[in-house]
Structure 1
Amino acid sequence: MHIGVAYADKFKQTWLKLDMPDGSTVREAIERSGLLGQFPEIDLSQNKVGIFGKLTTLDAKLSDGNRVEIYRPITADPETVERRDRDE
């Protein structure tokens, strides 16, 4: 099956297309993608993951055409950032 794996840090967006065996999991796709070596800051015990913008688990089974996404932790409270921008 054909799937995509996406990750973006502050400077670079990466989206890879992979062929995976039927029954593969989110974790297997991420590991096969090579993104863990390319972005050492990714910690699968901490980073949340999703499929097409919906949170999921690492052991979720993939379907043909899925896009696996690895999310960065939120570093600022969106409400605080909004207030700071208005005060300037």
Structure 2
Amino acid sequence: MIRVVVACSPAPRQVLEWPLELPEGATVRDALQACPQLAADGAEVGVWGRKASPDAQLREGDRVEIYRGLLVDPKVARRERFQKQGARAAGLFAKRRPGAKPGY
């Protein structure tokens, strides 16, 4: 028997974990089926933060993670934040000391 943990985050700052004991040679699919309270249909899954297929074999101590989709593309969100801030208030040299040389 191997011990694994199945984790999911249904909402921000909320993590649910289920410790499981599975037979040797179990796959990610087996771990998801062993948790009846999960609804992981079509969701992306991974092991320790790396994307994994449902047929990936698990090892002792693995953490199977179920990922929810992004609501906003991070690149778009950053671009919008930058536009709201303005070019002078953002960037590497935005906070200069009074009397400092340009670029420092």
Which category describes the TM-score, using the shorter chain as reference length?
A: 0.7 to 0.9
Query: How far off its partner does 1:81 sit?
Result: 1.0
Paired amino acid for 1:70 = I
Residues 1-88 of structure 1: pairs in structure 2 closer than 5 A: 1-11=2-12, 12-36=14-38, 40=39, 42-43=40-41, 45=42, 47-86=43-82, 87=84
Query: How far off its partner does 1:23 sit?
Result: 0.9
Instruction: State percent identity of aligned pairs.
Output: 33
Q: Determine which structure has more spread, i.e. the larger CA radius of gyration.
A: 2
Aligned residue-pair number: 82
Larger helix share, 1 or 2: 1
Given the two structures, how large is their TM-score scaled by the length of structure 1?
Answer: 0.82
Question: What per-residue deviation string (whole Å, max 9, x for no partner) do you get for residues 18-48 of structure 1?
Answer: 1111111101101112342xxx4x32x3x11
Q: 2: CA distance between counterparts of 1:13 and 1:48? A: 16
Paired amino acid for 2:52 = T
Q: Secondary structure at the match of 1:33?
A: coil
Unaligned runs of 5+ in 2: 86-104
Q: Secondary structure at the match of 2:79?
A: helix
Unaligned runs of 5+ in 1: none
Alpha carbon RMSD of aligned pairs, Å? 1.5
